[in-house]
Structure 1
């Protein structure tokens, strides 16, 4: 073994620490241990491997610091330590490695500064230090490394100016300095970088003008978004005819659109948004066969929309809001069948919405708000099955709201406000069960609101300013037909209240029946009631014929066959039963194994339910199944991202109501996916109040532990004091489960101790569903960040459910108000 010249154990399942005896293999030329599960630290004995040329330890779980003894490996050519958990600073001794060509230390937790004498690595070709916590300046000595092809220093905390000396790197093809704290201007010496293809400077504090010398380069990618650059873009910026990405959004750029862009047919992605760039829109852009994304939002572009855009056959996103674009929308835009996002808001557009838009079968986001569009909304828009977001507010549109819009079943956001829409609201809109935001305010709508869940909880702000609307919304006048028909109103009250009361009474019967089975099969029901009369007066609720109803329940459930079970709680199992009366109810059957405990829990549940009136708290009117059941089967694919967001929102609203709108407050204590029931429209309802606790402000909140393992707040293990923050923790776990599609398990502990910036979105989503579009991804990411706050180990730091529900509502609304998709 001492004569061994090479050892390759890469891409296996190796774990544990690296044996120190490897340091005795003095003839090793290469050591490949990459892509395993190796932990522990890098042994200092590696410094004895004086003949080593290649050391690959990347993609492991190695921690600790980089041994300074590695600076003794004078023959080393490649050092790959990336994607580990290394800490500490980069050893100064590494600058002694004169033969080193590749140095990759990225995606660790390294800190400190880049060694000032890194310029001594005269053979260096490839340098990757990104995704660490490095601070200080970029060493000017880097400019001495004439062989460098690639520099990646992004996502650190580097500061100071970009050294002029980098302009000496005439072989450099890639320079990534994004996501740091760099300031000053782009060195004019960059004009010497004739081999440069990728220049990435976004998200820094850079300022000044963009050097015109950049127009002499043959750049493929320019990324300068989110800085403080001023002045105009070089007219020659695409003279090399190779430019694919031009991302300069959110700076202080002025001047006209560069002339060379008209014939820059290589373009794939363009961002000018958030500047003050001007120019004639119809004359500045040509035809781009590869372009898939363009964002000109919030500039000063004027002129009309050219037919050229309809010839860009790969264009999926057009963001042109907040400019001075005039004229009408060309009918030819209806030919852009690949289009997913179209934003022409806040311009000076006039005329009709083209009926040809009905051919945009892939479109998901249509924003035409704040223009001067007129005429009727084409019925053809109702055929756009993928449409999620529609905002045509603040125009001069008239006529009726097309009933066909009710066919767009994926609608998530619909704003028709501030137009001249007249007549009744189409009842078909009531079928848009995915809607989170609906605004019909300031039109000339009349008549009765459609009777559906969509309109049930609308605020008056979403309906105000109409001509003659009426309905059961606070602040809106009641319809005359309803006030003249008290009989119908009483029937409506009965329809709403009787199923709930019936469910409660049936639940009572199940409790009595379980106790009855333990005493005697011949004991009269009245005696069972009397037996508990000193404990509570609950059993004297009603004199309904319990025995007959119970027989019907046995018959309908085939004597409580598991096929009818829709959920299980700490107190009993819940069954779905359709009675001969036509009512569908949920019946809870108490477990018989712990009669006293469950009896008390059941009384808690009944007491809690009789106090609560909220759409997202169980009403026991018939359910499709529990959330846990649906997520655990292939039916989870029916819960698309929008439905999952609505479920999260519903649970948050329900808990907020229990904690902050009930007096005294009610703590559920067993929030989990098995206790969230979904109705036929996927509306979430919190169920199983067997372990709930009504907070008495004049008593202690200490209690026995209750709840479901995996959802329990950690503080319950050392202090059995129940607070609302216990529910908040369980809610956070539930949110992670809904988005991930399964219980997060051990991820919870790592998330609770990790900054939200380090969370990988792909690790937290359900891969059974398609990748979410950017707008939905933004919502999911924000909700995930909120969920991570909810599972903080310190209950004092967790938000309240009132804050959570408000945040979720804000997240949903804000993403639709924003037109700045990346």
Structure 2
């Protein structure tokens, strides 16, 4: 009996012990899960607090974060992963100021950080190297100073690094060579010094290398030839010396090569002829000597080659005749000009069909003689008259004194009368008045700085206020910028539209070059949208009217001007607002007359974020490029910010497709009433149609303009009931005749 009892008791005791031990295991596992969950919650709280302390979000948003630790995931510009950890921070175009004081240690999963186009200053923190998972870092167009932190070398997952347009100084750290996944490296327009580190040769995935407009010295390292995937190499406007390395010939994917405005010497290596995809080559303003390799003419895609302002000698190879834009001026070339050339070759010793185009190369005016050139220029600016004389020679064609519109000059009145009569007598009087009004362009009158000049406000003796766009001295001497200056004059004297900014005149006088426009009190649309007080004054009705005005102006340019005019740089920066918040298209320096250029191929022009996607690979300009840019601007006006992040999420995330239209509208304004809401629905539908990735599927601006004018009967659909997915379906373009609406 005792044995039986013992036999039965052993399994019971064992079972009891197993339950006890496993129960403890289960308890430990549960505790670990709770600790993990608690840790996740703690991280989210720390992230929300760190974001709150930057001051980059409204106080109302961060107050909500204190009551709900996960609310940071719903903030504007923040994206989180499934576990609630922040993976994207995008506060671009926000007019943010101060230093970058984000605690990076709380963001171990951050993949994208975009703080571009703000006013952030101070140094880029060293602890940015803690963001081990970072793939994209964009800090361009701020006021960062100090050196590039060497700790960036720890970001080995980085694919996109953009530090352009800051005040960063010091040398490029060799540690950047550790970023083996990097495909885009943009460091241009800073104050960098020292040599290009040879370690950049380790970046074999690199496609874009932009180091231009710095003070980088030394020679171009031969290791740059290891970057077999490179398509764009931009080293212009530095202090680089020594020869061009022959290893550049190994960059067989290169499409764009700009080494201009340096101190490069030696000869042009014939190996450049191996770059069979090259479409743009600029070696101008250097000390390059020797002959022009005939192999350059064997590069079939080469459209533009500028070798001006060097010490090139000998004859011009006959193989270069197929290059569309060819500038060989200001060298020591000699001999006969081969037949079939239309080129720019002043200050050379050449015989045969001499070109009188000079640096003033508006169109190909070669082999026409002085009289023909003057006729061409008057055709280019048909309603202008020229005061002074033309000088044709090594310096190109120069205009002395000032040029103003004929109707202004022919008007009569007192010097202190209205703005037109100021220019009654001659350009000199207007010039003196402008110099006096701006105290010789004193910085106190400067109201903005653009790509190639500064803008000044001038109150003339008559009491009229004008805006003056003046070329900087360096840009005034640069033929590229001067061409842009003259191009703007030529286009704006041709066109008249209520939504295109008026040009009153221009002046080339005593080395001072400026354009005179009507004054726009509110400044650029870009700045107004990013200033909370100004944005709130820009109510829904005003915003819709601005969009309509831009559409009508572009329709006029594309369909009523002969030849058609394509702006090429429609962006919120180039839409100016007057005191009544009416919109005007400005900045025609890159505009293109389509019929005068059969190829319509050109260099990249425009503003990042507004350029049509097909232009990147076709380099071909059509009206549909402006249509795409218009769509981006229209959506930006509705959202109050650039729609780039939204467009990216729509193309990659199904969750964004389910967002409602009212959710993406500018939250600074009260929700629109139902009537204006239908106008917004129309604008949004048109905007998405204009941004179609296929150019042929985009509407024409004439069609867009007519849609706004037709005032079709509104279906009062609440914006809360329209998803972005529905909106994109509604944006289908039908047979070139209209839009399909639900």
Query: Please, what TM-score do these two structures have when normalized by structure 1?
Result: 0.44
Greater fraction of residues in helix: 2
Greater Rg by CA: 1
- Structure with the bigger RCO (C-alpha within 8 Å, sep 6+) is 2
Query: Please, what TM-score do these two structures have when normalized by structure 2?
Result: 0.49
